[in-house]
Amino acid sequence: MNALAAGAADAIQIRNLVKRFGAFTAVRNVDIAVPAGSFLVLVGPSGCGKSTLLRMLAGLESPSEGEIAFVGRTVSSGTGGVIADAGRRNAGLVFQSYALWPHMTVAGNIAWPLKVAKWPREKRDRRVKEVLALLGIDALAERYPAEISGGQQQRVAIARTIAPEPSILLFDEPLSNLDAKLRIEMRSELMRIHRATGATSVYVTHDQVEAMTMATHVAVLNNGRVEQFGRPIDLLRDPQTAFVATFLGTPPANLLPVRRSSETLVFGETALAPAALSGGRDDVQLLYRAEDVNVGAVAGAPTLTARFAEAAPIAGRTMVTAMVGDLRITAMADGYFTAMPGDPLALSFIRTPDAVFAATGERIHQ
């Protein structure tokens, strides 16, 4: 079965969801089905509507149109508002800020939601021990939030959220307050927890590297719309819009605006590709991966003269950024490479473009 096809095994169904704040539309016609056990990452630039979508899933915000169902049960809709409130969705929410109770110990914080849900004492104690062990914070059980580090506080917040065994976990940029090293550690930790709990997770981030490492499924949002939804590898290999193609991937791919001139597509005066690729359009955009742009002229390959901007060594090669007018182009050089900012640099396009997009952004399939 196609893992992306809607079906009975979907833990979350989002149908034609819209959220308006007055005249402003923050979420536009979002339609996705999330299979049970997935780790869905919502990724996109600041203000694209990720948090608003997550808050609707959490029951903190009601939709203007459309509906959300958890395991076939409608929990919110444009006509009915929030049908099942935040506490009755069997969903746990982890925020960027940890919001621990300062007057309760770590164990007390974790036990709190279980007390509220009236778990019997013995079962509660057993569960607190279990999640303390799962998060590797057993030794902190009797400390107060002020006596532990930010990273440890985030672990406690996660432990508290998973303690009541929610079937859906919702994360809103939970790692953004941590330093770079801790973020990377916590990423693998969260994936381990996801596997251990089996909960379907929805995770908001603006960091595409975080998205690509953690996700089983990714939804790329832009201006409130889902530009593309699918497995990370499919979005990387087969982007359906120019936005997805340039937002995902490290180093970023290059998008060159070209126009048709008799038999070729030209950038400025340089012929880059055959006109047949444009699907009959006059203006299109060509996608070139950084590894398909060579630093230095290659005989027989179309070549542009750029101005060197910066270089960063990566895994034995150098990622070079250069400017052609206002356009930034990223290329790869073998070994170590450096130059002075503004130095002229030949860039050769050593392969045919990876994809072609209309000037308006949609993919042109050959």
Which residues lie near ligand ATP (CB under 6 A)? Answer: 21, 24, 26, 44, 46-52, 206
Min dist CB 38 to ligand ATP, Å, is: 20
* Beta-carbon count within 10 A of 149 CB: 11
Q: Which is nearer to ligand ATP, 218 or 295 (by Cβ)?
A: 218
Q: Which is nearer to ligand ATP, 165 or 207 (by Cβ)?
A: 207
Min dist CB 328 to ligand ATP, Å, is: 23
Q: Which is nearer to ligand ATP, 2 or 46 (by Cβ)?
A: 46
Amino acid at site 197: T
Dist. CA 18–CA 11, nearest whole Å:
20
Label residue 168 exposed, middle or buried (CB < 10 Å: 0-12, 13-18, 19+).
Answer: buried
Task: Give the SS3 label for residue 4.
Answer: coil
Taken in order 176, 181, 182, 184, the sign of the CA dihedral is positive
Q: Which is nearer to ligand ATP, 20 or 129 (by Cβ)?
A: 20
Min dist CB 58 to ligand ATP, Å, is: 12
Q: Which is nearer to ligand ATP, 44 or 164 (by Cβ)?
A: 44
Min dist CB 96 to ligand ATP, Å, is: 9
Min dist CB 221 to ligand ATP, Å, is: 7
* Beta-carbon count within 10 A of 112 CB: 18
Beta strands 168-172 and 200-205 are: parallel
Whether the CB-CB separation of 152 and 105 falls below 8 Å is answered with: no
Beta strands 91-94 and 168-172 are: parallel
